[in-house]
Chains A and B, each alone.
Chain A
């Protein structure tokens, strides 16, 4: 909690720098717009202005700087503009009862969330199953673990478009399935590695003690390895859910996507409406924050009940 003040100060500084950066970033667009509206700008013509630095332009045309803060299609929107756009497509629509309309970011967020959660569940299940197998079977450990490590160095984004085409070729209409698979792929490795570390965490003396009780492999697993792995599991789950979200969004990028936050980003890019992109990104960031915080809460409660945390 003693970090609250420094964090707030740093955040305030970031917002401050952001606001200041809007002016130089948007000055060219502002001047172009003013010129189209009939004003005379020195030097004339957007092309000639490209030769002049933004600082010069701002100094010579300071009366137009403020316009840069209110553009429809800004190069760099102000935090307020992004916030307003987000509110327009979420809260405002919810208040009008249209939370789930195709233009509402809440609807798109739920689409992305669904794939994220399915992918997260699948990836976590595979990760834990793989970890149990690797811990208990030497042949799995020697043969599969190196490939699991290598698989993470392969950029999934290269496979994403193909998984989508594959599933549509196989007749799966719902885009949610390939998206969930991509999410699962991104999520399973952190969970696998974390669980392996956790299941192997008990010390040699603890394992020896159970041997003196003639405990079976299963009993050792349930009574010692599994509880010992819980802290590691939660750490990996947090990374896993963030990766699953990235996977779902990446799955929405290849052409043809119409719903989901990734799709909104794509459409915003295609229609040249940067504010839509920023709002979708902010929504994705908020979604990520909520998911990780929920897991963090779950971690605190579970560890407390297990006596592993004060």
Chain B
């Protein structure tokens, strides 16, 4: 009971502190912008612990953060193995192959406005489809191991990156293209010096979307067949055997990996598109 009371009090206190900071003139400080959400996160975790403890929630329904942390610490070997299988072998390989292929195809079809106009609406449509559904088919083609997972990821990331790259390449305005004509610049020169750099904000938008899709694809694909390791495998079997704390430990890994992946792409984006108004805030 005491944990519950303290955690509720703590949450209210943190909210009050956050409000004070948000309305103070220091709110745009780097430190403030990190402190506020982090405090909310910690207060929420504490509240979770308090609710589970105070309301006597069964660990099968919702384990307490402390229990999850304990299981996490006890299973690092297995979690690492799953990470290598799902993320490094499945998701990352697929991500690199899929984004690379999409980029190449976009540059190739850029030459023909006919192909671009035909492919763009189709690409937009396919990007909206539940592509995860092809996972079982790809497993039947490529086998149980990580290759089929990488294949699913390739298909999932291909279209968003393709569509964004094509749109980015179209973005250059008439005046810039005229300037290149006054220099009698060739197609390749115009592509490399003007259109690709100008397309970078769009390309990175696609790459960020792709990074979240890659992890989803790799995990879902494992629900359809996997050697006895992998995050998706662990989650579906864990749910079946009601080892919910293990499932949550895997979710924590997934959350960390997902955030790191997205964060890395954003970080590279900041470096490459430093000049864009949205980055110069």
Contacts and interface: CB of A to CB of B under 8 A. Distances in A.
Binding partners A and B: yes
Interface stretch (B99-107, B122-130, B187-195, B197-205): B122-130
B130 A284 contact: yes
A289 interface: yes
A113 interface: no
Contacts of A138: 22-23, 27
Q: Which 9 A-B pairs have the closest CB atoms?
A: A6-B118, A10-B118, A153-B258, A269-B136, A242-B128, A138-B22, A139-B22, A146-B37, A161-B239
Contacts of A2: 117
Interface size range of chain A in the complex: 35 or more
Interface stretch (B143-151, B178-186, B243-251): B243-251
A278 B137 contact: yes
A155 B61 contact: no
Contacts of B250: 158
B54 interface: no
A292 B130 CA distance: 13
A9 B216 contact: no
Contact of A155 (B117, B119, B136, B212): B212
Nearest to A14: B122
Interface size range of chain B in the complex: 35 or more
A281 B61 contact: no
A297 interface: no
A14 B247 CA distance: 41
B114 to A, nearest CB: 5
B172 interface: no
Contact of B220 (A157, A162, A281): A157
Nearest to B261: A153
Nearest to A154: B255
27 contacts: A6-B114, A7-B118, A11-B122, A14-B122, A75-B141, A142-B18, A145-B37, A154-B251, A154-B254, A157-B216, A158-B235, A158-B254, A165-B239, A166-B61, A170-B61, A242-B129, A250-B132, A262-B133, A265-B136, A268-B136, A269-B139, A269-B224, A278-B137, A280-B133, A281-B133, A281-B134, A285-B129
A131 interface: no
Contacts of A265: 133, 136
Given A165-B242, A169-B61, A249 B133 contact: yes
A150 interface: yes
A294 to B, nearest CB: 13
B96 interface: no
Interface string A11-42: 10010000000000000000000000000000
B129 A142 contact: no
A29 to B, nearest CB: 11
A258 interface: no
A254 B130 contact: no
Nearest to B121: A7
Given A161-B236, A250-B130, 20 more contacts: A7-B118, A137-B22, A138-B23, A142-B32, A143-B18, A153-B212, A154-B255, A154-B259, A157-B216, A158-B231, A158-B254, A159-B251, A161-B247, A164-B239, A166-B62, A169-B60, A170-B61, A249-B133, A288-B129, A288-B130
Contacts of B261: 153
Contacts of B136: 265-266, 268-269, 277
B36 interface: yes
A189 to B, nearest CB: 10
A144 interface: yes
Nearest to A166: B61
Contacts of B22: 137-139, 141-143
Task: Say what secondary structure dominates the interface of chain B.
Answer: helix
Interface in B127-170: 128-130, 132-134, 136-137, 139-141
B137 A10 contact: no
A282 B221 CA distance: 19
Contact of B128 (A143, A250, A288): A288
A262 B119 CA distance: 28
B239 A162 contact: yes
A249 B118 contact: no
B219 A144 contact: no
A156 B231 CA distance: 13
A239 B205 CA distance: 15
A245 interface: yes
Given A146-B37, A242-B129, A274-B137, A162 B247 contact: yes
B18 to A, nearest CB: 5
Nearest to B208: A153
Contacts of A289: 125
Contacts of B231: 158
A162 B244 contact: yes
Contact of B216 (A8, A146, A156, A254): A156
A219 B31 CA distance: 34
B117 A142 contact: no
Contacts of B37: 142-147
Interface in B49-100: 58, 60-62
A142 B33 contact: yes
B4 interface: no
A180 interface: no
